[in-house]
Amino acid sequence: MTIEDVALAAGVHVATVSRALREGGMVAPATREKVQAAARRLGYRPNVAAATLRTRRSSLVGVIVTDLGNPFFGPILKGLETELRKSGWMSLVVQPPEDAAGRRDVVLALADRQVGGLIIGAAEIDDPLLDTADGLQLPVVLVNRGYGERRFPSIVTDDRESMRLALDHLLALGHRHIAHIAGPRSSSTGRARAEAFGDLCRQQGIGDAIIVETPAFTRAAGNEAALSVLDVAAPPTAVVAGNDMLALGVLDAAGHCGLSVPGDLSLVGHNDMPLVDLIDPPLTTIRVPVEQLSRQAARLLIEQMHNADEAVMMRVMMPSLVVRASTGPARR
């Protein structure tokens, strides 16, 4: 069942069928109708591979996400897929390997499929992923990760504002000994939040603020890092975690050290991922507007793909503080 069959059935030439079935084709309304009727009657489906071969374009978008197991990414993926498909794009989802060569290959493999662009929710700073995409001239949008030199369009939340919200909240509760369990410096969010936290502490005259970097945004890493901070004579009275997964690890560590939350230790997470409102204690955290984040990202990519020479831009979304029960007044 090819375009030729339709042409035959409609009594026109294949070229006319092609035009009639596509948006911009210049065809007489009557002809178009005739063709569409024939196509429908025959159950004709255009051969996507042939069209891709001819046009060098496919209706595919590469979605590169680390750690699909992380509850934070589910909603992001959901928003992305929904919004992309609304515009006719399908999502090729890939988790990149750790090694540089593997990351390069992932982008190449995606490019081989003629993806129109890439949404990357996994970029590290100086990521081979980005260099490769850049070399291929592939439109890219970063979600929730900026890039060191801001070379790529991205949707991010304001990390400085996040830390300000967290810190103000803790200061208002009387805390003065505050630690930050930071995500890896190789990720823009890990780095930006750590730097903002440091700056703000200095501004507030908190000299002894501790910042510990973790190797990954995981519960295990959070636990380990938190132990090094909490398992001492005079532990801090509050901790700001780089994200919610790290916060869960901090919770583990607090339990291990016999510290009650929020009695002995106040804890602020980041992201407000699903279910953190139900854990014990319900987590005070910084909410990022996930739904809008992912929809904006999809839209931005679509714009970039549509208009190749769109200016590089960053859209910054504002986080907000959600106070639950993991924070309380300082005892000391």
* Contact residues for DNA, defined by CB under 7 A: 2-4, 11-16, 18-19, 21-22, 26-28, 30-31, 44-47, 50-51, 53-55
Least spacing, CB of residue 21 vs a second copy, in Å: 13
Q: Does 276 bind a second copy (CB under 8 A)?
A: yes
- Partners of 257 in the beta sheet? none
When CB distances are held under 5 to 8 angstroms depending on the partner's kind, the choice from a second copy, DNA, none that residue 165 binds is: none
* Residue 93 CB-density burial (10 A; 0-12 exposed, 13-18 middle, 19+ buried): middle
- Of 83 and 124, which CB lies nearer to a second copy in the complex structure? 83
User: Which string of x and - marks every residue 162-191 that binds a second copy (by CB under 8 A)?
Assistant: ------------------------------
As a whole number of angstroms, the distance between CA 202 and CA 200 comes to 5
Least spacing, CB of residue 23 vs a second copy, in Å: 17
Nearest 5°: CA angle at 162, between 158 and 167? 150
Contact 321, 165 (CB under 8 A): yes
Least spacing, CB of residue 18 vs DNA, in Å: 3
Least spacing, CB of residue 2 vs DNA, in Å: 3
As a whole number of angstroms, the distance between CA 99 and CA 102 comes to 5
Q: Does 74 bind a second copy (CB under 8 A)?
A: yes
- Of 42 and 325, which CB lies nearer to DNA in the complex structure? 42
As a whole number of angstroms, the distance between CA 98 and CA 184 comes to 14
As a whole number of angstroms, the distance between CA 31 and CA 205 comes to 76
Nearest one of 319, 304, 256 to 87, comparing CA atoms = 304
- Of 19 and 191, which CB lies nearer to DNA in the complex structure? 19
- Of 56 and 101, which CB lies nearer to a second copy in the complex structure? 56
- Of 30 and 278, which CB lies nearer to DNA in the complex structure? 30
As a whole number of angstroms, the distance between CA 235 and CA 225 comes to 13
Q: Which amino acid is at 102?
A: G
Q: Does 251 bind a second copy (CB under 8 A)?
A: yes
Least spacing, CB of residue 298 vs a second copy, in Å: 13
- Write out the two tokens for 105: 């290959």
Least spacing, CB of residue 9 vs DNA, in Å: 13
Looking up tokens 């499929």 gives 113
Contact 288, 70 (CB under 8 A): no
Contact residues: a second copy, CB under 8 A? 45-50, 52-53, 56, 58, 60, 63, 67-71, 73-75, 77-78, 81-82, 85, 90-95, 108-109, 111-114, 248, 251, 274-276, 278-282
